[in-house]
Amino acid sequence: MRHWLSSFLFTILLVSNAWAGGDGKALYQEHCASCHGETRLGGTGPALLPSNLGRLRAKKAGGVITQGRVGTQMPAFKDTLSEDEITSLVSFIYEHPTIAPSWKKADIAASRNMAASTANVTAPTYKADPLNLFVVVETGDHHATIMDGDTFDLLTRFPTRFALHGGPKFTPDGRYVFFMSRDGWVMKYDLWALAVVGEVRAGINSRNIAISKDGKHLAVANYLPHTLVILDTTDLTVEKIFDVADRKKNSSRVSAVYQAPQRDSFIAALKDVPEIWEIATDPNAEPVFEGLVHSHEKGMVEGLASSKGLFALRRIEVPEPLDDFFFDPQYRNLIGSARGKAAVVVNLNVGRDIARIPLPGLPHLGSGIAWTYKGRKIMATPHLKEGRLTVIDMSDWSVLKTIETKGPGFFMRSHENTPYAWTDVFFGPNKDLLHVIDKRTLEIVKTLQPAPGKTAAHIEFDRDGSHAIASIWEKDGAIVIYDAATLEEVKRIPMSKPSGKYNVWNKITFSEGTSH
Where does this chain bind ligand DHE (CB under 6 A)? 71-73, 139, 165-167, 207-208, 256, 366, 410, 458, 499-500, 515
Nearer to ligand DHE, 21 or 271 (CB): 271
Nearer to ligand DHE, 71 or 351 (CB): 71
Nearer to ligand DHE, 271 or 439 (CB): 271
Nearer to ligand DHE, 64 or 195 (CB): 64
- 128's CB contacts (< 8 A; 6+ apart) are 148, 149, 150, 151, 153, 155
Nearer to ligand DHE, 87 or 514 (CB): 514
- Which residues partner with 45 through β-bridges? none
Q: How far is the CB of 200 from ligand DHE (least distance, A)?
A: 18
Q: How far is the CB of 32 from ligand DHE (least distance, A)?
A: 15
Q: How far is the CB of 413 from ligand DHE (least distance, A)?
A: 8
Nearer to ligand DHE, 72 or 117 (CB): 72
Q: How far is the CB of 283 from ligand DHE (least distance, A)?
A: 24
Beta strands in 420-466 (DSSP E): 420-424, 434-438, 443-448, 456-461
- Give CA–CA dist 131/182, Å, rounded: 27
Helix (H, G, I), strand (E, B) or coil at 63: helix
Nearer to ligand DHE, 31 or 458 (CB): 458
**Beta strands at 398-404 and 388-393: parallel, antiparallel or unpaired:** antiparallel
Residues 26-55: b if buried by 16+ CB within 10 A, e if exposed = ebbeebbbebbbeebbbbbbbbbbebbbee
Helix (H, G, I), strand (E, B) or coil at 18: helix
Nearer to ligand DHE, 193 or 242 (CB): 242
DSSP state of 428: S
Helix (H, G, I), strand (E, B) or coil at 85: helix
Q: How far is the CB of 323 from ligand DHE (least distance, A)?
A: 7
- Which residues partner with 498 through β-bridges? 138
Nearer to ligand DHE, 400 or 412 (CB): 412
Distances in Å between the Cα of 258 and the Cα atoms of 268, 280, 497, 516 are 6, 12, 26, 8
Q: How far is the CB of 206 from ligand DHE (least distance, A)?
A: 10
Residues 210-220: b if buried by 16+ CB within 10 A, e if exposed = bbbbebbbbbb
Q: How far is the CB of 271 from ligand DHE (least distance, A)?
A: 9
- 26's CB contacts (< 8 A; 6+ apart) are none
Helix (H, G, I), strand (E, B) or coil at 21: helix
Asked whether 420 and 462 are in contact (CB, 8 A), the reply is no
Q: How far is the CB of 122 from ligand DHE (least distance, A)?
A: 30
- Give CA–CA dist 424/431, Å, rounded: 8
Q: How far is the CB of 344 from ligand DHE (least distance, A)?
A: 16
Nearer to ligand DHE, 143 or 458 (CB): 458
- 443's CB contacts (< 8 A; 6+ apart) are 403, 437
- Which residues partner with 275 through β-bridges? 317
Q: How far is the CB of 248 from ligand DHE (least distance, A)?
A: 25
Number of residues that this document lists for the chain = 516
Q: How far is the CB of 456 from ligand DHE (least distance, A)?
A: 13
Burial of 412 (0-12, 13-18, 19+ CB in 10 A): buried
CA dihedral 150, 152, 156, 161 (to 10 degrees): 100
Q: How far is the CB of 73 from ligand DHE (least distance, A)?
A: 5
Q: For residue 330, give the nearest of 512, 196, 100 by alpha carbon.
A: 512
Nearer to ligand DHE, 43 or 167 (CB): 167
Asked whether 363 and 380 are in contact (CB, 8 A), the reply is no
Nearer to ligand DHE, 254 or 316 (CB): 254
